[in-house]
Structure 1
């Protein structure tokens, strides 16, 4: 049984996952140029989780959850944030922020295929067309000479794809899992768990932790924005949407995220937008559109019926 929808909340939540998340690629890219990736992600999520707990206490929101809910929060945090985000931050050491966002634009394709494999959901004809177009877009993106010739960049792109698989599976898991009903509580436990997991991983591989007083001003501001908006606001909105609308609709944020990331990376970091990247963006986002569209599917069905 779906929960009643609040139109204003839906609009604000979609704005958060569309626009705010689109800017996080730039913020992570700025920070990871100075800080170790897993340390960066660990601080972001641990602090964000603690702030949410404090906010819940101030608002008198109970933090009591069941053992099953705690277990599910830890698993979701691991899949979404430790794997799905932590390794994206690692990959940003070698991949431009815009290219990373553009590759992640293929996430609806991955979710659709996972829903077919895991849930047996039938793929509609227009969605199949979208998958084919999406694969063509990914090929155009990763077949560029500057990517193929650079081993680290190619490794980063492969790592981002693995993160996409983790994030896509987590989206399907969260949509059905028994999690805290309050979205702040849900987000807080997921973030705090992911932060601790990333901290353990960071220490295990010997990353050098740097005191905040030694960070440059751009890194300090970037991490502050990542914690407050990229983590607390956007991820809470994301968890809210996963319970209210379908995973495919939530994944439509990938229409907007790569465009914002490409423009911000070009504007602030002078990242190059090649002609092939621009073409890949158009092709890939066209595929994502066909995967998610409903109207086109109806038109396609009418056209087919007239020709048979």
Structure 2
């Protein structure tokens, strides 16, 4: 998860807030970036270059993290210990770098806010996704998370900005896509993973909207604090539910997937997301929802032999059409 620009409450988030697909970069400029004027979508010159770089990062990297999560799970890594340690490791590295560069350490109140946002975005948002991927194909998981803008629009309304007529049609279309996805058996047929999968984007959206009203640390320190807090909560939950690290060394593919998630999914991707949320409209920051399902389905088919049922393709059209209706106005 971060502090949101104050200009738009109706759009939202692996991979991640100040931050997140699911994820704000070490690609940030040496100095604290200037926040855009209200309603701005970018700034000229180098600042625009950072925005474009962050967008491409989310489009490609967060779309690939779904397959990396699957490879980690197949290699025997337990879901919550894998995700929790991934974010704690990435958060520790980012926190150390920022601290050595003189960034202020969060106050107790800011740590508390970071824990709340980290719990919603990472603990439930990412944790529910990883848990469900033990039964759900990576492409379908990305498709469900692609419903994030629908939930963002809904929670934006609860906080005072109800969606307009086109957005309401988008909400109806998107929820219809989720129903088709479930009726077609694409969510695995297990009720608990299905609930976890559906709660994932809902929690991410709510945490993203609510974080705008919480006292968060500044800049990338917010990202680091959220990853540390959210990762620790996930790791503790994994231990409490009986998860344990594998007794034998996981295969090379699982190890590579894990460090790919640490480096690119968390450290780079979550940082890029937070940078966009601070410097662009939320609708632009969450535009990765258009691209991630396509990337995930392609990679899942090519590298893991995943296939999608016809009902999943129908649901994809409905959900992505809903995202278009929800964001086109902005």
SS state at 1:43 partner? helix
TM-score by length of 1: 0.88
SS state at 1:207 partner? coil
Output one character per residue of 1:86-138: Cα deviation in whole Å (capped at 9) or x when no partner.
Answer: 12111100111100110111111111111112x12131111112112212222
SS state at 2:287 partner? helix
RMSD: 1.9
Which of 143, 158, 168 is residue 195 of structure 2 equivalent to? 158
In structure 2, C-alpha distance between the alignment counterparts of 1:63 and 1:220, rounded to whole Å: 34
Which has more radius of gyration?
1
Which of the two has greater helix per residue?
1
Matched, 1:7 2:43: no
Q: Report 1:1-308 matches (<5 A).
A: 3-4=35-36, 5=43, 6-33=47-74, 34-58=76-100, 60-117=101-158, 119-145=159-185, 147=187, 151-152=189-190, 154-183=191-220, 185-210=221-246, 214-294=249-329
Q: CA deviation at 1:63?
A: 4.2
Output one character per residue of 1:127-166: Cα deviation in whole Å (capped at 9) or x when no partner.
Answer: 112112212222222211465xx532x4323211112111
Give the structure 1 partner of residue 29 of structure 2: none
Output one character per residue of 1:150-187: Cα deviation in whole Å (capped at 9) or x when no partner.
Answer: 532x432321111211100111122343222221x111
In structure 2, C-alpha distance between the alignment counterparts of 1:103 and 1:62, rounded to whole Å: 37
Output one character per residue of 1:9-44: Cα deviation in whole Å (capped at 9) or x when no partner.
Answer: 111111222221111100001101211111111110
Output one character per residue of 1:243-269: Cα deviation in whole Å (capped at 9) or x when no partner.
Answer: 223333322211011111111111111
Give the structure 2 partner of residue 305 of structure 1: none
Give the structure 2 partner of residue 300 of structure 1: none
TM-score by length of 2: 0.82
Aligned residue-pair number? 288
Contact 1:105 1:255 (C-alpha < 8 Å) held by counterparts = yes
Extract unaligned runs of 5+ from structure 2.
1-5, 8-34, 37-42
SS state at 1:85 partner? helix
Contact 1:74 1:190 (C-alpha < 8 Å) held by counterparts = yes
Give the structure 2 partner of residue 303 of structure 1: none
In structure 2, C-alpha distance between the alignment counterparts of 1:218 and 1:157, rounded to whole Å: 27
Contact 1:39 1:199 (C-alpha < 8 Å) held by counterparts = yes
In structure 2, C-alpha distance between the alignment counterparts of 1:189 and 1:122, rounded to whole Å: 31
Contact 1:171 1:242 (C-alpha < 8 Å) held by counterparts = no
For structure 1, which segment, 242-251 or 30-39, has the greater mean C-alpha deviation from structure 2 after superposition? 242-251
Contact 1:25 1:97 (C-alpha < 8 Å) held by counterparts = yes
Q: CA deviation at 1:57?
A: 4.2
